[in-house]
A and B are shown apart, each in its own frame.
Chain A
Amino acid sequence: MGLDLLFKIAGVGILISVFHTALKQAGKEDMAHLCTLAGFTLVLLWVVQLLGKLFYTVQEVFKLS
């Protein structure tokens, strides 16, 4: 139930940090920041989808809205 998402995010995080360091060493500082931003946005997309699912379920269970 969504556990694979956890490891996807961890993977993306580790990859991005490696890319960031590698690109910084290669002297392409701006590319490194762009790459980090791209990874951050991708992970944010997944997390927000899951958050929407959570809030919908809570509204269903507790009849909030």
Chain B
Amino acid sequence: MEIIKIVGIGFIVTMLVLMMKKDRPEFAIQLSLTLTIIIFLIILNKVQVVLQLFYDLAEKANISMMYLNTLLKIIGIAYITEFGAQVCKDAGEGAIAGKIEFAGKVMVMVMAIPIIALVIDTIVKLLP
């Protein structure tokens, strides 16, 4: 099963990182970064299947593509922000991780503005 492979390689790389952390920390960080990228790539293939299902359901329920695209973008931004922030935190750079998370939140907010405006318009129309 996929998860067993991932956990196995995770343990191996953790041991390697620990071995290199003492005298060569920069290689340790690059090693853990490489593993996070590889696991991310494996998972992205799985996520694509789920997203395809979302698209099919949206077409059946004839929801407009604008909502789904924004939702997808927000999920993508969240994924990458989380990835970057975790790697920086792991390297000991808490400040940089915080800034990356802050930037991610702002960009998600910017993405969400059109939908918020739409919701408010709909509500206003409903009121007598």
Mark B52-85 against chain A: 1 for CB-CB distance below 8 A, else 0: 0000000000000000010011011101100000
Q: How far is the CB of A36 from chain B (nearest CB, A)?
A: 7
**Chain B min CB distance to A13 (Å):** 3
- CB neighbours (8 Å) of B42 from chain A are 1
SS class of chain A's interface: helix, strand, loop or mixed?
helix
Given contacts A16-B27, A57-B44, A61-B44, contact A3 B76 (CB under 8 A): no
Q: Which of B18-42 contact A (CB under 8 A)?
A: 19-20, 23-24, 26-28, 30-31, 33-35, 37-38, 40-42
Which listed residue (B20, B38, B44) contacts A13, Cβ 8 A?
Answer: B20
A38 at the interface (CB under 8 A from B): no
Residue of B16, B19, B51 ringed by the most chain A CB atoms within 10 A? B16
**Range for the number of chain A residues in contact with chain B:** 20 to 34
Task: Determine whether A50 belongs to the interface, using a CB cutoff of 8 Å to chain B.
Answer: yes
Docked complex Cα distance between A62 and B52 (Å): 11
Knowing A12-B27, A47-B34, the reply to whether A57 touches B41 (Cβ < 8 A) is: yes
What residues make up the interface of A, taking CB atoms closer than 8 Å to B? 1-3, 5-6, 9-10, 12-14, 16-17, 20-21, 36, 39-40, 43-44, 46-47, 50-51, 53-55, 57-59, 61-64
Number of A-B contacts (CB under 8 A): 94
Considering the complex, give the chain A residue whose CB is closest to the CB of B36. Answer: A54
On whether the beta carbons of B51 and A61 are closer than 8 Å, the reply is: yes
- For B, the interface residue count at a CB cutoff of 8 angstroms equals 32
Q: Which residues in A have their C-beta under 8 angstroms from that of B24?
A: 13, 16-17, 20, 36
B37–A54 CB distance below 8 A:
yes
